[in-house]
């Protein structure tokens, strides 16, 4: 294949000479904006690929201020046609039927969308446009107005990267090195320390990794999940990542643990696939290993420590005993390290607080606070277990005092769980977790009270 692809590159190079910009009268001296106009015009019909290539080549040469200028140009020169839009509004006002609605929809479409479609004609265009959106995020930091431009990107990418067009592939030690190096690079939850560490996650018979790919981005995973096959639901990340653990024969596995899910393409932010990936992986594994009974995560609580530090223990939603309050303070004083063997009282407190954080606490806008929890609960998973002393890495301690949780994917319950969460803002949890929550003695965990939680006690 490699031989072929290098040949095709040769074709492309020859192509640039043959029907390239040189052959488009006057084009080689055009500004990027001019080329964009050409691409949208009739001229794009005859030499669209050459124009798209030329524009993207121009783009790649720009520095940060150049890109900022490019984006402003797109925003101001390739928005909707205002006059056209005004006429469509008049027609719609006169008769708001379907035809006129549709006409209004078309009239109000920013021309940037059509331009992006045509830029995608260039070989490798899709990846460059994804990278372009990454640069747009940078530019947006200093210019919120550009968010409108971003909506055109996001709108189109949601269509292009529709789940129906993605393929799920297993990643293992036989995968291409240029894909594997991206697994190392993009792993966002538990850092991979080089190729030997990667091998430990991919090669053993009780490890799996799956990713979504788009046909146009062959070497670029969109999202991937790492899975460990185990007997029981694990309570510590060490037991999964340790270099000297013994390998379980897959046929003996009862549990599949999703211990890391990482998005790879910052430029696809807001286009979500995680939900689909977990379910597709679960089905795939169930087919391969019918003995699997439990599908579960071992997940971080990235917002727990921050929430805890800003907690107003005097609020009416959490009632802590004097002893607990002392422990909480000592936890702080010990600068996270204090959570060691034998400190069972403090561990109990952490478990209870984590349970309350996930089940009872709400943000100002009434949502669950923890982003990982929102993701899994939104997928219909159930909050299964709180594990204290589960992650003693620097990051695990600083983000969540070492606490991790298991979310359980019970394929028969996800719809009901999802509805409870989506419609009634209710967290479905195991009785173990619910019991922990009740120990917090909060009479009514209610969103309206969350505002007060903000006042920090620690």
Provide the annotated active-site residues.
299, 376
Nearer to a copy of itself, 162 or 242 (CB): 162
Alpha carbon of 286 to those of 229, 247, 255, 282: distances in Å? 12, 20, 10, 6
Cα gap 38→121, rounded to integer Å: 14
Nearer to a copy of itself, 42 or 342 (CB): 42
- b/e map of 420-440 (b: 16 or more CB within 10 Å)? bbeeeeebbbeeebeebbeeb
CA pseudo-torsion sign 204, 205, 211, 217:
positive
Phi, then psi, of 208 in degrees rounded to 5: -140, 155
Q: How many CB atoms lie within 10 A of CB 150?
A: 18
What pairing do the DSSP bridges indicate for beta strands 294-297 and 255-263? parallel
In the 3-class helix/strand/coil scheme, how is 302-328 assigned residue by residue?
Answer: CCHHHHHHCCCCCCCCCCCCHHHHHHH
Q: Are 359 and 377 in contact (CB under 8 A)?
A: no
For residue 165, the 8-state DSSP code is: G
Residue the block writes with tokens 């999703």: 258
Q: Helix 43-61 and helix 32-40: axis angle, to 10°?
A: 150
Give me the least distance between CB of 326 and a copy of itself, in Å please: 43
Q: How many CB atoms lie within 10 A of CB 157?
A: 21
Give the rounded distance of the alpha carbon of 416 from its chain centre: 24
Give me the least distance between CB of 57 and a copy of itself, in Å please: 16
**Ordered DSSP codes for 212-256:** EE-TT-TT--SEEEEEEEESS----SHHHH-TTPPPPPGGG--EE
Nearer to a copy of itself, 346 or 382 (CB): 382
Give me the least distance between CB of 131 and a copy of itself, in Å please: 15
Nearer to a copy of itself, 92 or 356 (CB): 92
Q: Are 293 and 409 in contact (CB under 8 A)?
A: no
Nearer to a copy of itself, 216 or 235 (CB): 216
Tell which residue, 398, 301, 389, 300, has the closest CA to residue 340.
389
370: three-class secondary structure by DSSP: coil
Cα gap 273→162, rounded to integer Å: 9
Give me the least distance between CB of 283 and a copy of itself, in Å please: 5
Give me the least distance between CB of 8 and a copy of itself, in Å please: 9
Give me the least distance between CB of 368 and a copy of itself, in Å please: 15
Provide the CB-side half-sphere exposure for 205 (13 A, CA): 10
Nearer to a copy of itself, 401 or 407 (CB): 407
Give me the least distance between CB of 134 and a copy of itself, in Å please: 19
Give me the least distance between CB of 446 and a copy of itself, in Å please: 22
């Amino acid at each position: 294949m490699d031989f072929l692809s290098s040949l095709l590159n040769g074709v492309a190079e020859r192509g640039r000479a043959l029907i390239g910009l040189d052959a488009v009268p006057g084009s080689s001296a055009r500004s990027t904006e001019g080329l964009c106009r050409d691409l949208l015009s009739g001229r794009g019909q005859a030499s669209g690929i050459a124009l798209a290539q030329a524009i993207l080549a121009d783009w790649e040469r720009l520095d940060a201020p150049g890109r900022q200028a490019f984006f402003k140009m797109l925003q101001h020169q390739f928005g909707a046609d205002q006059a056209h839009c005004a006429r469509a509004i008049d027609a719609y006002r006169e008769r708001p039927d379907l035809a006129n609605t549709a006409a209004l929809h078309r009239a109000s479409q920013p021309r940037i969308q059509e331009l992006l479609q045509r830029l995608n004609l260039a070989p490798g265009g899709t990846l460059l446009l994804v990278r372009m959106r990454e640069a747009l995020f940078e530019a947006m930091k200093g210019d919120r107005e550009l968010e409108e431009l971003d909506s055109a990107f996001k709108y189109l990418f949601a269509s292009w990267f529709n789940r129906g067009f993605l393929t799920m592939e297993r990643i293992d030690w036989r995968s291409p090195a240029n894909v594997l190096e991206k697994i190392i690079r993009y792993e966002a939850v538990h850092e991979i320390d080089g190729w030997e560490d990667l091998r430990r996650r991919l090669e053993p018979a009780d490890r799996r990794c799956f990713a979504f790919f788009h046909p146009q981005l062959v070497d670029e995973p969109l999202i991937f999940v790492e899975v460990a096959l185990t007997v029981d639901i694990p309570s510590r990340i060490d037991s999964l990542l340790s270099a000297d653990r013994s390998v379980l024969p897959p046929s003996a596995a009862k549990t599949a643990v999703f211990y890391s899910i990482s998005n790879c393409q910052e430029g696809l932010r807001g286009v979500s696939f995680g939900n689909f990936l977990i379910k597709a992986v679960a089905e795939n594994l169930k087919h391969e290993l019918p003995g699997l009974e439990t599908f579960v995560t071992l997940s971080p609580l990235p917002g727990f420590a921050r929430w805890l530090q800003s907690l107003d223990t005097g609020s009416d939603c959490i009632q802590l005993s004097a002893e607990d309050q002392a422990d909480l303070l000592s936890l702080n004083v010990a600068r996270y390290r204090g959570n060691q063997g034998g400190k069972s009282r403090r561990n109990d407190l952490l478990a209870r607080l984590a349970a309350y954080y996930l089940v009872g606490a709400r943000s100002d806008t009434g949502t669950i606070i923890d982003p990982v929890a929102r993701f899994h609960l939104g997928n219909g998973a159930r909050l299964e277990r709180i594990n204290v002393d589960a992650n003693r890495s620097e990051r695990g301690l600083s983000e969540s005092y070492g606490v991790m949780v298991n979310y359980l994917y019970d394929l028969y319950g996800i719809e009901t769980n999802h509805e409870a969460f989506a419609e009634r803002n209710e967290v479905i949890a195991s009785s173990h977790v619910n019991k922990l929550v009740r120990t917090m003695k909060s009479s009514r965990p209610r969103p309206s009270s969350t505002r007060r939680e903000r006042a920090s006690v620690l």
